[in-house]
Amino acid sequence: MSIWDKLKGELIDIVEWLDPTNDTMVHRFERYNNEIKNGAKMTVRESQIAVFVDQGQIADVFTPGMYTLSTENLPILATLKGWKHGFESPFKSEIYFINTKNFTDLKWGTKNPIMLNDDRYGLLEIRSFGTYAIKVKDGGKFIKEIVGTDGSFTVDEVDGQLRSIVVTRFTDAVGEARIPVEGFAGNVNELSEFAHKQLTPEFEEYGIELTKFLVENVSMPEEVKKEIFELSRLERIDLDKLAKIKAAKAMEKAAENPGGAAGAGMGIGMGFVMANQVGGMFNQQTQQATGNPQAPAGGPPPLPTAVAYFAGINGQQAGPFDMNTLQQMITSGQITGETLLWKQGMAGWIKAAEIAEVSGLFGSVPPPLPGA
């Protein structure tokens, strides 16, 4: 065997990559000082692409399939200097295989709390964490922007950089989403979708597609959480039912007094007293909420003041007369529909028949007797 045959045998004629790992994103085809034959076969499998790099520049990108490597198929490489030893020029370029599958369950989280200005609770701090998934979308851009000359590039190497982008952009998304802080727990899907839209252009600058972004939890200080829970209960609770439940529990507890029937009766009595007290407190709160200034702190409201009218009889002011007295005077004929009346709050004297609450009294006066 001549030295030339031996050299020919050392050239590589099959180019492929089988990934034995689950986290390798880029693998540079190892030559070990060997060279790729002109006319070699290259296999690119599903979920892979192959990037040819010649003298530091990307020459071509191959999608899944089987290819015959020749200078005719790669015109950019046609200028490679051929060997003058009786056989075809080998490829001395680099081949990078890129894994285009989804890399899932990547973790992200806020190391430092996010300052949030909530319309209801003011400034407060929240924390959040979740997962995201990525895959290579543009192999050439990914090689140039992220991988460089790294011969074996794993997802862990890019995860740290991407995680910083995620946290920064998520902080902006939380502020722009304008979701009330008490609504975070019930709106994690909406928050995830909004943050996904905000992050997608950022990832595409590196040739990466953000295929999934999930917010799993949003947490806040315990004192803020407690305040939100208490306010939520107050807004939803029925105070009347609460008063009745407390009264019933008080009666039940008092009835358990070991003093027998007398004790039970006393317990029931105490229960009713407590129920009245709770009911009084509820009525007081209701009256204050409705803005009734005459409602006392305890007991019934004052009786309404009787309506009193003054009457002009025979050119003289008479009265005041309450409604019962007016009825009697109308019946006896002392007051007619033309009689002028006035009460406090009226701008002037008005005929009795034109006052609504008085005109009804004339309907109860019997008609004159026949022949009278």
pLDDT one-digit tens code per residue, 117-129: 777 777 778 888 9
Q: How far apart are CA 351 and CA 156, in angstroms?
A: 96
* pTM, two decimal places: 0.53
**Mean pLDDT across 323-333:** 82
Of the candidate ranges 89-103, 215-229, 327-341, the one whose mean pLDDT is the lowest: 215-229
Nearest in space to 42 (alpha carbons), one of 93, 106, 103: 93
% of the chain at pLDDT higher than 90: 13
Cis, peptide link before residue 320, omega less than 30° from 0: yes
Cβ atoms of 43 and 66 within 8 Å: the answer is yes
pLDDT score for 366: 60
CA dihedral 168, 169, 175, 178 (to 10 degrees): -150
pLDDT score for 72: 56
* Beta bridge mates, 311: 318, 341
**Mean pLDDT across 156-185:** 80
| CA-to-CA dists, residue 326 to 312, 354, 362, angstroms | 12, 15, 10
**Mean pLDDT across 262-283:** 49
% of the chain at pLDDT higher than 70: 66
Q: How far apart are CA 166 and CA 202, in angstroms?
A: 9
DSSP state of 145: I
Cα three-residue angle 38-41-47, rounded to 5 degrees: 130
SS3 146: helix
Contacts of residue 212, defined as CB under 8 A and 6 or more positions apart, other chains included, come to: 102, 104, 131, 132, 133, 196
pLDDT score for 74: 55
Tokens of 141: 């851009």
The pLDDT-based confidence of 49 (bands split at 50, 70, 90) is: very high
pLDDT score for 262: 43
Please state the φ and ψ torsions of residue 33, each to the nearest 5 degrees. 70, 0
Q: Which residue has the higher pLDDT, 133 or 309?
A: 133
Q: How far apart are CA 20 and CA 29, in angstroms?
A: 14
pLDDT score for 102: 92
pLDDT score for 300: 63
- Indicate whether 341 pLDDT > 80: yes
CA dihedral 131, 143, 72, 7 (to 10 degrees): -110
Of the candidate ranges 63-67, 131-135, 261-265, 278-282, the one whose mean pLDDT is the lowest: 261-265
| DSSP percent split of the chain into helix, strand, coil, nearest 5 | 40, 25, 35
- Indicate whether 91 pLDDT > 70: no
Tokens of 160: 């740290």
pLDDT score for 214: 92
pLDDT score for 9: 47
* Beta bridge mates, 28: 96
Type of residue at 15:
V
pLDDT score for 100: 92
Q: Which residue has the higher pLDDT, 182 or 274?
A: 182
The pLDDT-based confidence of 278 (bands split at 50, 70, 90) is: very low
Q: How far apart are CA 45 and CA 50, in angstroms?
A: 9
HSE toward the beta carbon, residue 283, CA cutoff 13 A: 13
Output the CA torsion sign for 215, 221, 227, 233: positive
pLDDT score for 85: 34
HSE toward the beta carbon, residue 63, CA cutoff 13 A: 2
pLDDT score for 231: 64
Cβ atoms of 134 and 103 within 8 Å: the answer is yes
**Mean pLDDT across 56-72:** 81
Tens of pLDDT, residues 16-48: 998 888 889 999 887 655 567 777 788 999 999
**Mean pLDDT across 95-105:** 91
**Mean pLDDT across 224-245:** 65
Q: How far apart are CA 330 and CA 337, in angstroms?
A: 9
Tokens of 268: 């029931």
Output the average pLDDT for the chain. 74
Q: Which residue has the higher pLDDT, 145 or 365?
A: 145
Q: Which residue has the higher pLDDT, 263 or 152?
A: 152
- Indicate whether 83 pLDDT > 50: no
CATH code given to domain 103-224: 3.30.479.30
- Cβ density class 52-80: b for 16+ within 10 Å, e for less: bbbeeebbbbbeeeebebebeebeebeeb
